[in-house]
Copies of this chain bind each other. A is one copy, B any other.
Amino acid sequence: MPALITSYAPEYSSQELRLKIRRGEIKGSTSGLARTMQANLIVLPSRYAKDFRGLCMRNPVACPLLECLKPGDWESRLAENSDLRTDIPAYNVWKDGKLVSRRKSDIREEWTSDHVGFLIGCSYSFETALKDAGLEPMCSKKNLAVPMYITNIRLNPSGVFSGFYVVSMRSYKPCDIPRVREITGNYIKQHGEPIAWGWEEAARIGVARKIEMGLVDFGDVVEIPDDEIPVFWACGVTPQVAVQESRLKGVVMSHLPGSMFVTDLEPDDEESIML
């Protein structure tokens, strides 16, 4: 694992951050690096674009679609002078369903005129709001990546795509849940309010044992204090897992979970997202 850079760095604008990432000066997690909205990236051969767009539209809590680019385009409308092929710290590349390159810093060679890029909302954006309200999650306090779990909750299928919700987990005292729901509920394009909370719900969605055994599917293991319960948000890794499971033909690319694309959008700037 590369060292996590999680210190909050408001001295850089989102554009400066992207340039630093492009130059290789920032590696690893982008958590806490920007006050602006961060995004997950999925890049697919154009023949899968319609079905994937449908997957997002039919599962907006897990796959909140921020932008769907034109085939071959790599400059995001949500980030000035951006290049989606270089402005993320690390990428994964699959060919015919098989992971062929991990943690690549640049995908300019792989991105053809037939590739369609999708940007999907990320819960990093609401973590700042939780922190501002005195509800900073443990993972953020400890400079760890948020723990993520693959659940048994199915996505609504769309064409070739199907799969299961991936959730991120943060723990809270039961008395804080209403406030946590309210704050994150405003971030509609960033997974919104939690989809489940408490140990009973953790068992129902198929992740309780994993948590008890100190396991994660993605991210870091974070202990839950005795007076807190797990709270689960839909997570932007969901479409990445769904894409992997669908064993698509051709070259598929995505960001490395945790290393996101930094946009210019304010976290609550829902209005400027037109699809």
Contacts and interface: CB of A to CB of B under 8 A. Distances in A.
A195 B156 contact: yes
Interface string A190-205: 0011110000000000
Contact of A193 (B61, B158, B181, B193): B158
Interface of A: 54, 57-58, 60-61, 153-154, 156-159, 181, 185, 188, 192-195, 234
**Copies of this chain, how many?**
2
The 7 tightest CB contacts between A and B, nearest first, are A61-B156, A58-B61, A156-B195, A58-B192, A60-B60, A57-B188, A157-B195
Most chain B beta carbons < 10 A, residue from A58, A181, A188: A58
A58 B60 CA distance: 6
Nearest to A194: B157
15 contacts: A54-B185, A54-B188, A54-B192, A57-B60, A57-B188, A58-B60, A58-B61, A58-B192, A61-B156, A153-B154, A156-B192, A157-B193, A157-B194, A158-B185, A158-B192
Contacts of A61: 58, 156
B185 A234 contact: no
